[in-house]
Amino acid sequence: MNQDELKQLVGTAAVDFVKDGMVLGLGTGSTAKYMVDALGKKIKEEHLNIVGVPTSERTKKHANSLGITTKSMDDVDHIDLTIDGADQIDKNFQGIKGGGASHLREKIVAINSTKNIWIVDKSKMVDKFGSFPIPIEVIPYGSRQLFKRLKEKGYHPKFRMDEKKHVITDSSNWVIDLDIHEIDNPRQLATDLEHMTGIVEHGLFLDIVNTVIVGRDSGPQIIQVR
Ligand code: 5RP
């Protein structure tokens, strides 16, 4: 199976975890899009009562186009389950997210969810981080100075651009990708980034996921993490 087929496989498999009456966090990205497709179908076929909390404007639009009711994080009092993609998952089931510039809302939704499922194709499973840049969402004001400080720390920052314009997040911020080749201690890196003024959120998702569904040629592999 190619990567896209594996993404579709896990996106479809994930909706087996959806039960009637749930408030569901809806992730962002190409894998999550397959999950939203499958969810729309399941809601229609099984006449389910589901409220989705989208992690991006993109996902909201897609979910609504399929007839899925959505609410904002602030209009629900809890989220039962969030299903989202990931850019990489290491051997300790820590994750990198934000390849789609949505990690701020994704993290807000994830930490307010009772359970989190990540759906990934097999290429996202790695031993150790280092090959995928860590996205950080930054306040545009003063970001050139922040960029310099990140460079001095050896984090190899790069503004994320679309053609010649800064990529703008749903919260009107910019994204910097940190191309750090050796990440021996993700926790230490996360703490360091959390202490830097101007960074709104980093893409390291530590101790968050409960279940990982990996797309393999033999079928979806379900891993219970915590
Ligand atoms: C968006 C994300 C996505 O979940 C991540 O980039 C994976 O995307 P895809 O499923 O398209 O590979 O974190 O901010």
pLDDT digits (tens, 9 = 90+) for 130-144: 999 999 999 999 999
Would the CB of 94 count as within 6 Å of ligand 1? no
The one catalytic residue among 5, 45, 46, 106:
106
Q: In the sheet that 51-54 helps form, which strands lie side by side, from edge to edge?
A: 69-70, 51-54, 23-26, 79-84, 113-121, 211-216, 219-224
Residue 65 phi, psi (nearest 5) = -65, -20
Report the separation in Å between the CA atom of 197 and the middle of ligand 1, taken as the mean of its atom positions: 25
Would the CB of 103 count as within 6 Å of ligand 1? yes
Atom of ligand 1 nearest to the CA of 84: 4
pLDDT for position 170: 98
Q: How far apart are CA 226 and CA 115, in angstroms?
A: 10
pLDDT for position 182: 86
Q: Do domains 3-123+206-224 and 134-203 have the same CATH topology?
A: no
Would the CB of 133 count as within 6 Å of ligand 1? no
pLDDT for position 18: 98
Per-residue tokens: 30: 């190409």
Residue type, 136: I
Atom of ligand 1 nearest to the CA of 29: 11
> Is 106 a known active-site residue?
yes
Residue 216 Ramachandran class (φ > 0 left, ψ -120 to 50 alpha, else beta) = beta
Q: Which helix (H) or strand (E) holds 81?
A: strand 79-84
Residue 36 phi, psi (nearest 5) = -65, -40
Q: Residues with Cβ < 8 Å from 2, sequence gap 6 or more?
A: none
Beta-carbon count within 10 A of 216 CB: 14
- The domain at 134-203 falls in which architecture? 2-Layer Sandwich (3.30)
Report the separation in Å between the CA atom of 84 and the middle of ligand 1, taken as the mean of its atom positions: 8
pLDDT for position 189: 98
Q: Which helix (H) or strand (E) holds 158?
A: strand 157-159
Report the separation in Å between the CA atom of 103 and the middle of ligand 1, taken as the mean of its atom positions: 9
Would the CB of 169 count as within 6 Å of ligand 1? no
Q: Which helix (H) or strand (E) holds 75?
A: none
Residue ranges, the chain, pLDDT below 70: none
Q: Is 158 exposed, middle or buried (0-12, 13-18, 19+ CB in 10 A)?
A: middle
Top CATH class, 3-123+206-224? alpha beta
Nearest CA to ligand 1 atom 10: 31
Buried b (16+ CB within 10 A) or exposed e, 70-109: beeeeebeebbbbbbbbbbbbeebbbbbbbbbbbbbbbbb
pLDDT, one tens digit per residue, over 47-72 is 999 999 999 999 999 999 999 999 99
Report the separation in Å between the CA atom of 30 and the middle of ligand 1, taken as the mean of its atom positions: 7
Residue type, 161: M
pTM over 0.85: yes
Q: Where are the domains of the chain?
A: 3-123+206-224, 134-203
